[in-house]
Structure 1
Amino acid sequence: MSEEPRERILSDFQDCTGLENMEECIQILQQHEWNLMEAIRAVHEGIGDGNDPESTVPVYQTMDDQMVLTGHNPNNTRQPNSNDSDDVEIIGTVSAGERTASGASFQTTSDSARNLHFQIVYHDQTEHVHISENETVHKLREKVAEKVFVPVHQQDFLNWKMKSFDERTKLRDLRLPLENIIKLSSIRDDSAHRIYNHTTTSSHNSGEFPLTVLCEDKFGSTIPYKLVLEPHTTILEIKKRMENLACIPIHQQVWQGLLGATDSDTLRQTQIVQNGTLVVRHADTSPNQKLPTTRQNLLPSTSTINYDDDENMNTDRDIIVEDIEDNDIGVLSSTTSTTTVNEGREPLIPDEFTDEVFALQHFSSVFQSRYGSSGPILYMGSLDQALQESLYASIHSRRPLAIYLHNDQSICANVFCSGVLALDSTVEYLANNYVFWAWDVTSDVNRTRLLETLRRCVGNQCAQRVGCMEKNDFPLLLIVTRSRGLLELNSIIEGKSTPSEVLLNLIQSHDSFEQQRSRDMDEEIMREKRENLKREQEDEYEQSRRADLAKQQAREQEERESKLRIEQRSQQQQESKARLPDEPDESEKNITRLKIRLPNDEGILMRRFRLQDNLQVLFDYLTSEGRMLGEYKLLTTFPKRDLTTLNSTDTFEQLKLYPQEQLILESL
C-alpha cells in the first residue's frame, strides 16, 4: 500500500473519530491493518461502552467515480471482496465530486436514518434522549433542555471531541454511534471559560487581548463566545473568526461596539478595551423579527397571522411604529390582518393598593400571566429599600439598581416584555448582577407616585428626565449607580432596543459600576487604613498619656511619702533629742565611753554615757544623729553581739559596756 492512501485513511480516521493524537491514530490503524472501518468501529465501540451489538459506522468502498455505502459485518470480521456481492447491500451512492477535503461526505435517505440514543449526565441527574440523526445539534440541545432545564445557549457537552460543528450541523455528519453519553455542564454568560467545544478558551496572559462576542443566532438565542486574540489582530480577522464559529458570512455580519473601528484597524489601534463585549448578528435577522408573532400570541386579534422565517419576520420597526401611530385606537396592522393592542387588560400595578409589596407582587403575577414567564426577579419592597439593598449595602456586596418602568399604552411594551425581559439570558444576568425594581406608569396616579419617589430617592434630575418621556418612549430600564457617595443615573435603556443592545448596555453599565466599585473599594480600604492608623496613634497616645500620668502620680506619691518620711524622721529626731539625757562630764565617775564606727567610711561617733543608762538612751542618741532604729545593726567587737536584738532596758553596766567600748554600725 502506497503512502498516499495511508495519509488519506489517517485523515479520514481522524475526521470520523475526532482523535488528534497522530501516534495514537497510527497505532490503532496498524492494529487493524489499516482497515479504516474496523478501526473506526473499534473506537466507536469503545465510546459506546461496547454495549451496541452492531457497529454504527457505515462501510464504504472507493470505486472510480463514486463511493458505495455498504452494509457491515456485525461480527466485526473483514469485508469480503467485490466478488462476494451477495453479502453487500447497496444503500446509496455519492459521486466523487461530493467528497470533502477531509474525507468522504456520507448521505443517507430519510428512510435509512438511524434513531440515536443519548444518555445525559448532569450533576447527579441522568436523563435519556432519543433523536433522529437527521436532526441538528440545536434540536438535540432543545431536547436536552426539556429534560434537564439547562437553556440551549448554556449547554456545554464536555466529552464531545469533534473538531468542528455548529448549531446547524446534522447529527449524522458527526458520525455518532447509536448509544452515546453526554456529560453536560451549564455555562454562565458572565463566568464561563469554555463556550461550546468550538470556541476559543479564555486566557489571562499579558500578551493576549480577551474579548466577549455576543452572537445572535437565527433561533433567537444569544450565544457568548470568549475570544483570546493578539493585540495586532485586525477587525477583519475577528469577523473571519466569527464567520467560522457562528457561520455568519462577513458581508452579512452586523456589529455593535466596534466604536468606529474599520476592518484594517488592529485591536490596539481601536478604543476597544480588553475584556470588552461586542455584539454581532446576522443581517437578515431584524431586531423586530419576533414582533408580529409575539403580539399575536399575547393579544386578542381579528385574524391569525402566519409569518415565514425568512421573509415576513423582517418587518421594519419604523413601518410598524408608523402604522400604530396612525391609528389612535392602538391597532397593529400587517397586510390584511389587525391586532388590538393593550385594551381591557388588568394593569400590572392597580391604582389602589395597600402597600408597595402588594403592588409588586401583583406586578409579578400579572406579568407571568401575560407573557408566560415571571421575568426578572423583582425586589419586593419600596424603592428606598431597594436602594439600601443595592447601592447602600456593604462595599463587597454592592450592586447597581435596575428600575423597569412599564406603560401599557406604549407600542413597544409587549415586545420588550416578551422579547427582552422574558429571555433567560436577560433574567439570569439581571439576577446575578443587579437589584431589579419595577413600576407601572400607565395610570396618571401611579406615574405621579413614581416621580415623587424618584425625586425623593434618586434625585430631581432623574425625576425630570422620566417626567419628560412620552408614552411611546416606554418601557424604560433605568440603571442607577453610586459614585463617591452620590447616586447617578448611569443609563436609560429604551423599549425599542433589541435584546442584544439591552444585554450589551447592561453589561457595559455593570462593568462601569464594577470599575467604580473597585475604585470605591480601594478608597474604602485606604480610608480604613487611615482610620486604623489614626486609631492606633490615638491609642498609643492615650496609652502614653496614661503611662505619663501614672508616672507623675507615682512620683507625686513618692514625693509625698518621702516628705512624710522626712517629717517622721525629723519628728523622731526631735523626740529622741528631747528624751536624751545630757552627756556626762568627763570628770564624773561611773561613765563609759562608746566609739561607734559608721558604715561606708562616713566617720565615727563618740559619746559618754552613764553606766546606769540603758540601751534605749544609746538608740535615742543614734536617732538624734539621723540613724533610725530598724535601719541598722549595732555590733560589739568582742564578743560579737547585735545590741539591737537585746533588751533595750538593759543598762551599759549589765551589758558590761564599760569603761569604753568600740561598736560597729551596719546599715540594713
Structure 2
Amino acid sequence: MSENKDETLASFQNITGIDDVGEAFSHLEAVNWNLMDALSRVMPHDDAPLSNPIQAARPAVPDPVQPGSQSNTNGFRPPSYDELPGPSNAGASSFFALHNHNQNQRHRYPTSQLLAHLTSTINLDPSSQNNNQNVMNFNIHFNQMLFHIRLPPTATIEQLKRKIFDATNVPVCRQAISGWPPSRASDAQIGGTQICNLDLSQENELILVDLTDDGFMDTEPDEVPQRTDNDFTIKILYEPEGTFTLRLPGQTTIQEVKMNVFCVKNIPVRHQEWTGWPSGCNNETTLAQSGIELNHRFVLRNIAERVQSNSNVPLDGDNAQTSSSLLNNVFDVVTLDSESSADEFEDATDFNTAEYIFTDSPPVQPLNRHLIPNNTDDETTGSTQFVANYRSRFGEPYPEFFDGSLDNALQLACHKPAKERKLLAIYLHHGESILTNVFCDHLMKAESIIQTLKEKFILFGWDMTYESNKDMFLSLLTARISSNASLTARNIKLDKLPAIMLVGKSRQLGSNCEVLSVIHGNIGLDDLLTRLIETTAMYEEQLQVEIRQEDEKAARDQVKAEQDMAYEETLQADMAKEAAKSQKAAAQAAERQRIESERAEESARRESIRLVAEQSLPQEPGEQETNIFKIRVRKPTGDFLERRFYTQNNLQDLLNYVTANGFLIEEYKLISSWPRRDLTAIESSQTLEMLKLYPQETFILEER
C-alpha cells in the first residue's frame, strides 16, 4: 500500500511540477489519494480562459501617496495573500510553468483527455489509497475547535505549519505550538526537523496559539534571549534592481535595519515601503523579538521613485539634500556585518515572480524626540534604551553613560571608600525642550566635558519626555536618594531642560546621598565645565577629612592585623609542636604494637609447628622391647633430651621429636658426635637402622 502511495505522490509531482512534498501531499490527501481528482484540483478546466491563464483579477490598489489613503505605521504593511507565511506558491508557479510549456498540447487536447493520457499507466486502485500505516495524524486544538491534519513521517515542521495555516489562517511565524514530547521540544522549533524524528505516535494532540498580537514567535519565553545571539539572514527584493542580502545580529532593531538599507541602497528611511514584517512590530523592535525566521524575505519599494514615476516630476533637490542630511545627523549608521558585503547580493531567482500587491505607504515619520519608549516599567531596560538611542541620535563623540539601574550607579559612585568615591551626575533629557539639540550636539560633545565626566563622575541618563517615564524616575529618586532629590527634579522647568543633577555622599550624610548642585541646560560650554570642576573640587575637599579618618583607621587596622598575625603564628607554632609530639608518641605506640603483634604471630606459628610435630611422633617403645634405639640430645643449655625409638623409625621421627620440644629444625641443626655429620641435611626418610644410629647415640643441637 505504501509503495502505491509513494508511486501516486511521485506521479502527481512529475505531472504538476510541484516540488513541495507537503503541498503535493495535501492535494492528494484532500481527494483521498485519487490522482485524477487531485490533478483536476491543480490543472485548469477545459472551459478555463486560455488568453491569460496566469494573472487573476485583483482589487485595485490605492496609490500610497494619494491624500486620504490609509497607511500603516513605521513603513510596515500586512503581506498580501501571496506573501503570507503559509503554503508555498511554488506549486502554483510550477503549474503555470507547466501550463506555458504545454500550452500547444492543451489547445489540441481537452484537459480530461490529457489527464487520462498522463495517468493511463498509474495504479489508481482506491483500496490502495486507504493505507494509514505511513501517515501521522495531528489533532490541532485552536479557538475551541479541532482541526485534523495528516502528513507523511518525512514531512517537516515547516510543512506541518503550512498545513496548519491552510486550516486555521494563522501565519507560520505567529504559530505557537505546544504538546511536543519534552525531550524533543527544542527540535520542534526548527522548521527543517522531520516529524518522524520527534518521537511522536501515529495520533498526536497539539495546541495552537495565535501570537499575532504578542509580537513574538512560537518560542518559549526564554528563547528570545537565545535568538538575540543568533545572526539573521535577510533577503530583500528591491524593485526593480533585484535581491540583496543582509546578515545582522538578533539585537539589531528594525530602525537599524532600515538604516543599513539606507547605507547600501541610499534609500532614505522615510521613503522605504516594506512588505513582510509581522504585525505588532515597530522601529524599536529587535529582529529577535519581531518573530521573523532566521532566514526571512522582504519586499522593499522606494516611495519616492513611485511618486516620481506617477507624476513624472523629480523630487526637489534641496529637499532631498536636506532629508539626507537630516538622516545622517539623527541616526548613527550601523555598520553591516563583515559578511554582508556587496559580494553577497543575489539575483531575484529565489523570489516568486508573481506581481506583488502594495498597500498605501506611511506618511513621513517625524523625528523621534524621545530616547525611552512610553510607559517603560523597568529602570534597567529604560537605561539601556536611553544609552543606545542617545548614541544613535546624536552620534559620536558622546559621553560615557552608565548602562544599568540607578541603584547600581549609586553603588558604583557613592557607596565606596572615600578615595574611590565619585559624584553621580544624573542627566535629565527632554525631547520637547528647545535647548536639547544645542546642549547635546555641542556641550555634551566637547572633549573637555566628556573627559571631566569620565574621570570625576558616574553619568546616568534618563528621558523625561513622557510623563509616565518622568513619574517613574521621580519615584526612583525618592526611593534611592531622597524626597528632596525627587522634588528638585520635578521643579526643573521645561525651558531649563536638559539638566544635570550632581549627587554625592559625605561623612555628614552617613549612608545617604543628596543633591549637591543642579546645572540647567541654558548654559555655555565654559560655564558648564566650570560648574562641574567647582562642584568636584568642593566635594573632594569635603572628602579629605573622611579620607584622613579612613587612612588612620586603616593604619590601626594594619597594626591590629599584624599583631593578630604574630599571635596566630605563635599559636600555630605551639600547636605544631604539640602535634609533632603527639604524632611521635603515636608512632612509637604503633611500632610497639606492631612488634608485639609480630611476636605473637611468630609464637603462634612456632607453637603450631611444634604441635604438628608432636602429634606426628610414633609411640615410644618400652625398655624391654627389642630393636629399639635410645637417643640423647644435648640442648644448647647443657641438659639432655632422652627417648627410645624403634630401629624402623625414620630420621624424620627423630627430627619431629626435637621440634616437639621447642627446637625448630629451621633454627637448629642436629649434629651426630661420631662421625660428625648434620642429620638435618640428610634425607629424612631413611630409617635409624640404615643410618646405623643404634643402639644408642648422643646428638648435639646447634643454632643455625
Do both share a fold (TM > 0.5)?
Answer: no
- Short-chain TM bin: 0.3 to 0.5
Q: Normalising by the residue count of structure 2, what TM-score does the alignment of the two structures yield?
A: 0.31
Structure whose residues are more often helix by fraction:
2
